[in-house]
Amino acid sequence: MTQGDGATAGFTRIEAGPSQPPYAQFCPAPGHHLGFNDLKVIEVAQLIAAHSGGSRCGPDFREALGVQETIEAIQQSAISGSWEPGMSVAP
């Protein structure tokens, strides 16, 4: 959401296109939408880069543990009807 006076404040539509990597390989011009398969190719490329030491790929196992502990705390809270402690692992 953009900030400004009442006449210009609000949401801005930005169409994905060649200027937003890694979409350039899939979008020949602005406004073309990505499909499920395009997004999976991007995810796999990022995973391969992470495994080859190029970059971090998230979520990692530590973050996944935190998510699982939060889910278990929510389930326990629903059963007990009281507040339960959540994640014990910092993200």
pLDDT in tens, 54-91: 677 777 788 888 888 888 888 998 999 988 876 554 44
Q: How far apart are CA 66 and CA 4, in angstroms?
A: 38
Number of domains, the chain = 1
Question: CB count, 10 Å around CB of 59?
Answer: 11
For 27-41, how does the pLDDT look when each residue is reduced to its tens digit (9 = 90+)? 766 666 777 777 888
pTM: 0.42
Query: Which residue has 């350039």 as its token pair?
Result: 24
SS3 66: helix
Helices and strands in the chain: count of H runs, count of E runs: 2, 0
Residues linked to residue 2 through DSSP beta bridges, in sequence order: 10
Task: Give the pLDDT confidence score for residue 30 in this predicted structure.
Answer: 66
Confidence of residue 3 (pLDDT cuts 50, 70, 90): low
Flag whether 32 is in a domain: yes
In sign, the C-alpha dihedral spanning 43, 48, 51, 53 is negative
* Range(s) of the domain holding residue 41: 23-80
Asked whether residue 61 is domain-assigned, the answer is yes
